Amino acid sequence: MRQVSIETGITKHAEGSCMIRIGDTHVLCTATIEERVPPFIKGSGQGWVTAEYGMLPRSTTSRMRREASAGKQGGRTVEIQRLIGRALRAGVDRNALGERQITVDCDVIQADGGTRCASITGGWVALRLAVNKLMKTGDVVTDPLVDPVAAVSCGIYAGQPVLDLDYPEDSEAGVDGNFIMTGSGRLIEVQMSAEGATYSRDEMNKLLDLAEKGVSELVAAQKAATGA
Amino acid sequence: MRQVSIETGITKHAEGSCMIRIGDTHVLCTATIEERVPPFIKGSGQGWVTAEYGMLPRSTTSRMRREASAGKQGGRTVEIQRLIGRALRAGVDRNALGERQITVDCDVIQADGGTRCASITGGWVALRLAVNKLMKTGDVVTDPLVDPVAAVSCGIYAGQPVLDLDYPEDSEAGVDGNFIMTGSGRLIEVQMSAEGATYSRDEMNKLLDLAEKGVSELVAAQKAATGA
Amino acid sequence: MRQVSIETGITKHAEGSCMIRIGDTHVLCTATIEERVPPFIKGSGQGWVTAEYGMLPRSTTSRMRREASAGKQGGRTVEIQRLIGRALRAGVDRNALGERQITVDCDVIQADGGTRCASITGGWVALRLAVNKLMKTGDVVTDPLVDPVAAVSCGIYAGQPVLDLDYPEDSEAGVDGNFIMTGSGRLIEVQMSAEGATYSRDEMNKLLDLAEKGVSELVAAQKAATGA
Amino acid sequence: MRQVSIETGITKHAEGSCMIRIGDTHVLCTATIEERVPPFIKGSGQGWVTAEYGMLPRSTTSRMRREASAGKQGGRTVEIQRLIGRALRAGVDRNALGERQITVDCDVIQADGGTRCASITGGWVALRLAVNKLMKTGDVVTDPLVDPVAAVSCGIYAGQPVLDLDYPEDSEAGVDGNFIMTGSGRLIEVQMSAEGATYSRDEMNKLLDLAEKGVSELVAAQKAATGA
Amino acid sequence: MRQVSIETGITKHAEGSCMIRIGDTHVLCTATIEERVPPFIKGSGQGWVTAEYGMLPRSTTSRMRREASAGKQGGRTVEIQRLIGRALRAGVDRNALGERQITVDCDVIQADGGTRCASITGGWVALRLAVNKLMKTGDVVTDPLVDPVAAVSCGIYAGQPVLDLDYPEDSEAGVDGNFIMTGSGRLIEVQMSAEGATYSRDEMNKLLDLAEKGVSELVAAQKAATGA
Amino acid sequence: MRQVSIETGITKHAEGSCMIRIGDTHVLCTATIEERVPPFIKGSGQGWVTAEYGMLPRSTTSRMRREASAGKQGGRTVEIQRLIGRALRAGVDRNALGERQITVDCDVIQADGGTRCASITGGWVALRLAVNKLMKTGDVVTDPLVDPVAAVSCGIYAGQPVLDLDYPEDSEAGVDGNFIMTGSGRLIEVQMSAEGATYSRDEMNKLLDLAEKGVSELVAAQKAATGA
């Protein structure tokens, strides 16, 4: 596992914010509270948590085209931000949150593999800080964040199971997965795919073992950062 | 497992085509051979397999907006077609295919849950038929389709593990997964996610057991349809 | 005139549906009833009938780009779907229909010339079936479908007037037209154009004669299919 | 027929230009010569004529949204500009033109019905002037403009056949048509449609008779304007 | 300063309109009154003035791509129309105007440098005429147009300060500016930029002196045209 | 003038980078070198400098919509990034740079007024660092950065000329300007505009005096940061 650091209070405007650094992958996460919800849950008394993801054009080795100027978010971006939102919601009691929306923005400042996992882990911290504010003011009474959410990638690189792939490892790995879990060790989402390859259930289990170790380390870092 | 039927030779223009029906889910799959490849593999001697996915506006209970008229493919569509392409490529020896591209189009005529899995299973049949043509003409000598690819969804519905969820089951299931495997029982992709819930490794293993059974049934249907 | 077949009840979700096959041209038509109307007739007591048209990417000899992925409907698509909607409305008493909208989707599964005419003829059948449902439930009392609508293409090919052009004839014809008529022999729309050529009124009249014959055959097939 | 005037040489940059005024309908037409052709005829030795159409936002009674700001050309615009291009090409010998493209832009300054017909009639004048330039310089030797092209609308208004509908007539007419013809009386395109109505062949013939009279008047005005 | 002419009443539909000609630069300006305002001032009792700008495709030496067909307004267009709107608003008492919006459309018919300045100067005339109408009907009581607005470009060309640059001068000038002023000599906006060059405050002052002379000439032409 | 800090070497991938902080306005600037130029200067031997600008969604008091998800860059964004590029090019000898392009990305992390000026000032630092690399490797021999470029905003707030407006001042100021200058005191661009107000030449001169003081302070900070 690469070095993990989580620095909170990065921007003065957001209700919650942090810069998460996992090795050379740096992601700025902010959480915004809005007193409105999407149409499909209006009047239900439940809240919503959603996420958006972006990469700064020069967060990568060579410059990527800015999506705003390309005129649309690419398929990879859309897929990742749907994943982040789904993952965070799994740790939230939406009744306790009440009819409001929290949007978590994850913007990659520097990329070196594992940006979607760093976004989920850092996004949870931003969400935690924003919810703390709602509880301080009494807008929310019961803590809606029932179990912390964190994510790590693992893969089979050079024949060996490897935890927390950096970019060079990730681009070589024939099989890699993203494992999203809770602080209490439950699974939220497993995405394990092979590009031009296949894998056995035994190999899958080895990666799950690694991921469990990685996630518990990340959850500890989240707790340290939020004083929980 | 719902009733499976695969009818080949559905359209006269495509190099390979079938209508796959899994219960009330009907998907038309066609494979198109083009003697060109995407820029990033030009000159490599390797081929490419890609996929596109769409739903007819009234394939669903209430009419969906036509994506062409909305002016873009939604996030779900993009995510699914990337998944189909990745899955099919896992069963292909791209060197044996040679420098050409096969595009598999999966268009949902009628939806009742599991459309992405049906698309992968039916898409493989269309691909198989198109490759047969290339081998008959001698354009391809060694069979590039090394191991059949099929997919099935499973979930936990009403507390019980269920194979091949239909739409009513799928919309109620707190945990569901898509399992893509080969005919020889290797895994290609596992996507198992919880919406507002979590699951244990034990539950995951039960679904994997079910999926293995389902996929072997689907591979048998593929073989029957293509005469392999 | 090529062989005509109309198979109804193709999809379980749509209020009306059919697959129309005119020779090797196959179009799936569905009709969707919605209890709302466009803003410009809200409160008028009148209903609306509109249409959308699409071609599956591999309905044609070589694969066309999917319009949803291109990000917009091409000029030809827009022109055709406006024509279908206008044609169908000519046979509808919009006061009798009441303030609701019926959307007819015409999706070309396999193309061999004459897809817009097949869409109109098949679209009318889907519309007929949907309206039958409204009358059965008593939501509509007076039949709003006053006179059946059907369409056929004719052209001058190799110097001869030809009824119901297939794709090879259509691409060679210097002059061709689409003739939309009612069951009682009235005209709804005539579009007769020359690409890099011209024609006389006499030639136009010969094509109109042919079209009248073709349309009466199509109206008979519509009646047989809907049991009217 | 409303008053017709054609003023040439409206803009100093275009190879051919005119302002055509038919009653209160005013269209600015320019022709641009470019020494390139679309890909599908490259190397064929043939030329191409194409057209674009637009309305200034306040050419109409109430302001229309600017299409450039809406982000796309509407269906009506696309349909009209395809029609104009097709019509003009019918009068052109594309071999005599040689491998170059002429783009005719028709921009409606003030609209009062019949803008597409005015665009065709005025567009031909701009085309004529641009081709004159090519012949003067010797770039083109044989005149490629074989037969002048003009267009007029007719309709059934208050039960009577009417030539050259203005906007109030046009919006009330249940049946109206656009008739594109050559100076020698041949037909290029007939589009005769009914909105929520139908018509007989006899009515169609009456409108064709009117259109022939109108077009011959327009062709005379074209000749006067271009000194032909 | 090039020859200035302002012809009013150009289109019958618009509440105010003029064609402004400054040398070979011709811009058609129309003003549209609408009894609604943008959301951000709803209920404030204040009005709004906004502007849109466009160039006909062949207003320039070589044909430009039509922005409606390109699918978006270019950066230059957006920048110019924001400038025009801001400039015109500086001369308007928005309380006196009352809660309504006036949209000024500036469409360049022929371009030869200085189109944005001509648009502002002509746009003011169209606005003046539209407001006159509102005052005649009594919808507006106190004249909201407090001080006329006009604009001129100046630059340093061949080492010399030059007033009202035409296109050849403008494309050669290393430094050029747009100066928007009121009839009483106050400044509204100064935009003075250097492309690959720099300038001194002394040079800036010389251009300001020239601009003052130019603007007073333009304001006189505005007054003559509107009979003020 | 608010507190200025410039921290270099912020991202490991970019050829030059810094975080500029002017009070609570924080902008991340990166410079990317590419060995290609835009088509219009290909083969000229000259280089190009261009810029792109963006704001993170929660860089502002309330969350802004992400431009990538809105599907286009807004008018303000386009205007600002054109300004930044123009400003930076004024300090560059494009012949000395040689036929390559440097793209400066300015992404606002936290906004409190003056983001465009901070982008120019910080963008110059990123550019300086990237060019230093080119000179170290010998790819560029003569320093193309002839005179440093920096920018500051000034305005009339509560009747007083104010240097370096923060957001609350900026939104209240009736007159404000952006002043872009070189280290040697030459002007590059002056944009001084009034929203619903006007100003005199005397007021303009007072702001220019202030701006000169501000820019010399910024140039000193640039030099300290780049060790020049």
F28 contact A CB<8A: yes
Count CA within 13 A, CB hemisphere, residue B139.
15
What is the pLDDT, as a whole number, of residue E203?
95
The reported pLDDT for the residue numbered D25 is 98
Q: What is the pLDDT of residue C199?
A: 95
Nearest CA in chain F to E73: F75
Tokens of B134: 């290339």
**Chain A interface, best mutation among B48, B190, B215, B219, by max A CB count within 10 A:** B190
The pLDDT value recorded for residue F195 is 81
Could you please report the per-residue DSSP string of E3-58? -EEEEE---SSSSEEEEEEETTEEEEEEEEEES---GGGTTSS--EEEEEEEE-TT
Q: Rg of the Cα trace of chain F?
A: 17
How confident is the model at residue F81, as a pLDDT? 96
The predicted model gives C113-117 an average pLDDT of 97
Partner-chain contact D73 E77, CB within 8 Å:
no
Q: What is the pTM of this model?
A: 0.90
Measure CB to CB from residue F58 to each of A13, A71, A77 and give the nearest one: A13
Question: What pLDDT was estimated at residue C101?
Answer: 98
Average pLDDT over residues E28-33: 98
Best to test chain A binding among B188, B208, B209 (most A CBs inside 10 Å): B188
**Residue ranges of chain D with per-residue pLDDT less than 70:** none
Instruction: Work out the minimum CA distance from E74 to partner chain F, whole angstroms.
Output: 9
Residues of A marked as binding for phosphate? 76, 114-116
Q: How far is D111 from chain C (nearest CA, A)?
A: 22
pLDDT value, residue C174: 85
% of chain B residues with pLDDT over 90 = 92
Q: What percent of chain C has pLDDT over 90?
A: 92
Residues F182-194 have pLDDT tens digits of 999 999 999 999 8
Smallest CA–CA distance from C78 into chain D, residue: D75
The answer on pLDDT for F196 being more than 80 is no
User: Which residues of chain E are within 8 Å of residue D127 when distances are taken between CB atoms?
Assistant: none
B187 contact A CB<8A: yes
Q: Please tell me the distance from the alpha carbon of residue D115 to that of residue D55, in angstroms, as a whole number.
A: 9
Q: If DSSP codes are grouped into helix, strand and coil, which group holds residue D163?
A: strand
- What's the pLDDT band for C196 if we cut at 50, 70, 90? confident
pLDDT for position B128: 98
Contact E63 D34 (CB under 8 A): yes
Tell me, what's the pLDDT at A195? 81
In the three-class reduction of DSSP (H, G, I as helix; E, B as strand; rest coil), residue F53 is classed as: strand
Q: Which of residues 97-136 of F touch E (CB under 8 A)?
A: none
Q: Is the pLDDT of residue C34 over 80?
A: yes
Distance (Å) of CA D124 to CA A61, D51, D77, D139, E102: 55, 11, 19, 20, 37
- Listed range (A139-143, E51-55, F155-159) with the worst mean pLDDT: F155-159
State the pLDDT confidence band at C23, using cuts at 50, 70 and 90: very high
- The strand ranges marked E within chain A are 4-8, 16-22, 25-34, 48-55, 101-110, 149-157, 160-163, 175-182, 187-194
Which pair of structure tokens corresponds to residue B113?
A: 């849950």
Q: Are D124 and D226 in contact (CB under 8 A)?
A: no
Tell whether the model's pLDDT for residue B132 goes beyond 90.
Answer: yes
Write down the mean pLDDT value for chain B: 96
- Helical pair B75-89 and A75-89, crossing angle rounded to 10 deg: 110
Distance of CA E94 to the CA centre of its chain: 18
Whether residues F196 and E94 touch (CB distance < 8 A) is answered with: yes
What pLDDT is stored for residue A71 in this prediction?
Answer: 84
Whose tokens are 């009148």? That residue is C46
CA angle F117, F123, F128 (to 5 degrees): 135
The per-residue pLDDT for A120 is 98
Smallest Cβ–Cβ distance between E52 and the set D34, D69, D109 belongs to D69
> What is the C-alpha separation between A162 and B105, in angstroms, rounded?
36
The predicted pLDDT at position C126 comes to 98
Q: Are strands F25-34 and F16-22 parallel, antiparallel or unpaired?
A: antiparallel
What local confidence, expressed as pLDDT, does residue D72 receive? 86
Residue in F147, F186, F195 closest to E86 by CB: F195
Q: Do F11 and A109 touch (CB under 8 A)?
A: yes
What is chain C's mean pLDDT, rounded? 96
**Per-residue model confidence as pLDDT tens digits over F14-68:** 999 999 999 999 999 999 999 999 999 999 999 999 999 999 999 999 999 999 9
Burial string for F51-69 (b: 16+ CB within 10 Å, else e) reads: bbbbbbbbbbeebbebbbb
Tokens 């009474």 identify what position?
A141
Locate the chain A residue with the closest alpha carbon to F104: A58
Contact across the interface for E110 and D13, Cβ inside 8 Å? yes
Q: Is F79 helix (H, G, I), strand (E, B) or coil?
A: helix
Question: Chain E closest CA to D22's CA: distance in Å?
Answer: 14
Q: Is F89 annotated as a binding residue?
A: no
| pLDDT band with cut points at 50, 70 and 90 for residue F146 | very high
Count how many residues are written for chain B.
228
- pLDDT-wise least confident of B1-5, C168-172, C201-205, D61-65: C168-172
Is B204 in contact with A188 (Cβ distance < 8 A)?
A: no
Contact A75 B79 (CB under 8 A): yes
Least confident of B188-197, E24-33, E114-123: B188-197
Least confident residue range of A107-121, A132-146, B201-215, E183-197: E183-197
Contacts of B78 in chain A (CB under 8 A): 75, 78-79
pLDDT at B153 over 80: yes
Q: How confident is the model at residue F228 (pLDDT cuts 50, 70, 90)?
A: confident
ipTM of the complex: 0.94
Task: Choose the mutation target among F187, F210, F213 for the interface with E, i.e. most E CBs under 10 Å.
Answer: F187
Residues 6+ apart with CB under 8 A from F210: F154, F161, F162, F163
Residue of chain F whose alpha carbon sits nearest to that of E178: F191
**Residues of D whose CB is below 8 A from C194:** 90, 187-189
Q: Strand, helix or coil at A126?
A: helix
> Which of E10, E107, E110 lies nearest to residue D12, judging by beta carbons?
E110
Check whether C183 is labelled as a binding-site residue. no
Q: Contact at 8 Å (CB) between E76 and E25?
A: no
The confidence score (pLDDT) of residue F197 equals 83
Task: Please report the pLDDT score of residue D29 as a whole number.
Answer: 98
Query: For E150-189, how does the pLDDT look when each residue is reduced to its tens digit (9 = 90+)?
Result: 999 999 998 899 999 999 999 888 899 999 999 999 999 9
pLDDT at C228 over 80: no
* Partner residue opposite F13 with nearest CB, options A11, A58, A70: A58
What is the per-residue pLDDT for D211? Answer: 97
Best residue in D97, D182, D189 to probe C by mutation, most C CBs within 10 Å?
D189
- Chain D residues with CB under 8 Å of C206 CB are none
Cβ atoms within 10 Å, residue E167: 17
* Chains with 3 or more CB pairs under 8 A to chain D: C, E
Which residues 199-228 of E are in CB contact (within 8 Å) with F?
Answer: 199-201, 204, 208
Report pLDDT for E196. Answer: 77
C85 CA: distance to closest CA in chain B (Å): 15
D151: enclosing H helix or E strand: strand D149-157
Say whether A191 and B196 touch across the interface (CB within 8 A). no
Q: How far apart are CA B64 and CA C13, in angstroms?
A: 12
Q: CA–CA separation, C117 vs C108, rounded Å?
A: 12
Q: Are F198 and E186 an interchain contact pair (Cβ–Cβ within 8 Å)?
A: yes
